[in-house]
Amino acid sequence: MDLPNPVLIHVVIIDSELMLLDSLVANLDSDPQFSVVYAGNNPQKGIQACLETTPEVAILGADLENRDPYDVAAEIRSRQKKTRFLFLGQSASDISIEQALRVGTYGYLLKSEPFAFLVDSLHRINRGDFCFSEAIQERVVYNREDHTYSMREEIGLSALTNRQLEVLRHLALGQSVKEVAKKMHLSEKSIDSHKYRIMNKLGIHDRVELARFAIREGLVDP
- Structural domain includes residue 3: no
- Structural domain includes residue 108: yes
Give the residue from 97, 130, 151 where a domain finishes: 151
| Co-location of 133 and 111 in the same domain | yes
Per-residue pLDDT tens digits for 142-155: 988 888 899 998 88
Is a pLDDT exceeding 60 seen at residue 39?
yes
pLDDT of amino acid 3? 45
| Co-location of 110 and 192 in the same domain | no
Is a pLDDT exceeding 60 seen at residue 13?
yes
Q: Say whether 81 sits in a helix, a strand or coil.
A: coil
| Co-location of 37 and 95 in the same domain | yes
Q: Find the domain containing 98 and state its range.
A: 9-151
Per-residue pLDDT tens digits for 85-111: 999 999 889 999 999 999 999 999 999
Q: Which residues touch 205 (CB under 8 Å, ≥6 apart)?
A: 199
pLDDT of amino acid 5? 55
Closest C-alpha among 122, 35, 39 to residue 85:
122
Number of structural domains the chain divides into: 2
- Structural domain includes residue 168: yes
Is a pLDDT exceeding 80 seen at residue 1?
no
pTM over the 0.85 mark = yes
| Co-location of 174 and 73 in the same domain | no
- Structural domain includes residue 221: no
CB 198 within 8 A of CB 167: yes
Give the residue from 127, 151, 175 where a domain finishes: 151
- Structural domain includes residue 114: yes
Distance, CA of 155 to CA of 184 (rounded, Å): 25
